[in-house]
Amino acid sequence: MKTTAWNLIVMSPHNAGLQKLSLSWRGGLILIAAFVFAFFATVALFLMYPHLQVNEFEHARLAAENQILKVENKNLILKIHKLDAQVVRVEERSNQVIALTQID
């Protein structure tokens, strides 16, 4: 029986049981080699197929749309503050009217 290099205990969030995995030196080297190969393959693919370039017209259109939405958001915030102030004034007037009607 071969000795194991690493013992890995896996605990699943969906299952209460524990699983113990034993990994030999040879298996560990195979996993490391697979990781290195996958890493270099990914780097090679990224170098072969660079990121797609964004059309400058689309970029400018999105920037303008973003600016318009920011202005609309600021306008809405100002309107909300004005409405909040009006609500406070109406509530104060309402409390005054209620106080006057209770005096009589």
More reliable by pLDDT, 37 or 20: 37
Q: 1 lies in a domain? A: no
| Contact in structure between 23 and 5 (CB atoms under 8 Å) | yes
- Please check whether residue 37 lies inside any domain of the structure: yes
Domain count, the chain: 2
Tell me, yes or no, whether 63 and 100 share the same domain.
yes
Closest CA relative to residue 6, chosen from 36, 31, 41: 31
Co-location of 69 and 32 in the same domain: no
Quick check: pTM over 0.75? no
Quickly state the pLDDT bin for 8 (edges 50, 70, 90). Answer: confident
pLDDT at 3: 67
Indicate if 32 and 80 belong to the same structural domain: no
Does one domain contain both 67 and 93?
yes
21, 19, 24, 20: which is closest to 1 by C-alpha? Answer: 24
Q: 35 and 58 share a domain?
A: no
Report phi then psi at 50, rounded to 5. -65, 165
pLDDT of 53 over the 80 cut:
no
Residue at 24 is within a domain: yes
